[in-house]
Amino acid sequence: MTLPRGFGTGGASGEGSADVERMIGRRVEHMGGLITLSYIAAWLATFGGTAAGYFYYPWAYPTNSGHFAFIVLTIIESIGYLFCMKVTQEGSRVSTNGLIAGTMGIIAILTVLISTFVGF
């Protein structure tokens, strides 16, 4: 990879990861918190969408259908979150396994509680 003038050691392919990081900005492997916040926001938006059916349009959006949609969409979001976190950590020394497990565990528990107690 050829870096722009002012980056690298000046030799052929002598660029280091610090030079590449300085050139493109923040490294993706350090964005676990942002990805986690995005996952939580997507889950809350999913609940908000199904909650509109639970509370405002109960005659048009049956509760069982809302629960099914909420659970399936939560599973899809969780798989996407897991893939995003694992891909960004690939080849890195940064380990966010605890963050992933904690976040997905809390979301799973809240999903079960919401599906059990909301709308019935």
Same domain, 22 and 39: no
Same domain, 46 and 66: yes
Same domain, 53 and 40: yes
Domain that holds residue 57: 31-117
| pLDDT tens profile 10-23 | 555 555 666 656 65
Same domain, 45 and 17: no
Same domain, 76 and 21: no
Nearest to 45 by CA among 24, 20, 73, 64: 73
| pLDDT tens profile 55-103 | 888 887 788 888 999 999 999 999 999 999 998 888 778 788 999 999 9
Q: How many domains does the chain have?
A: 2
Same domain, 89 and 61: yes
Same domain, 52 and 109: yes
Same domain, 44 and 59: yes
Measured over the CA atoms of residue 45, residue 108, residue 99 and residue 101, the dihedral's sign is negative
Same domain, 64 and 98: yes
Same domain, 67 and 110: yes
Same domain, 45 and 79: yes
Same domain, 73 and 45: yes
pTM of the entire predicted model: 0.75
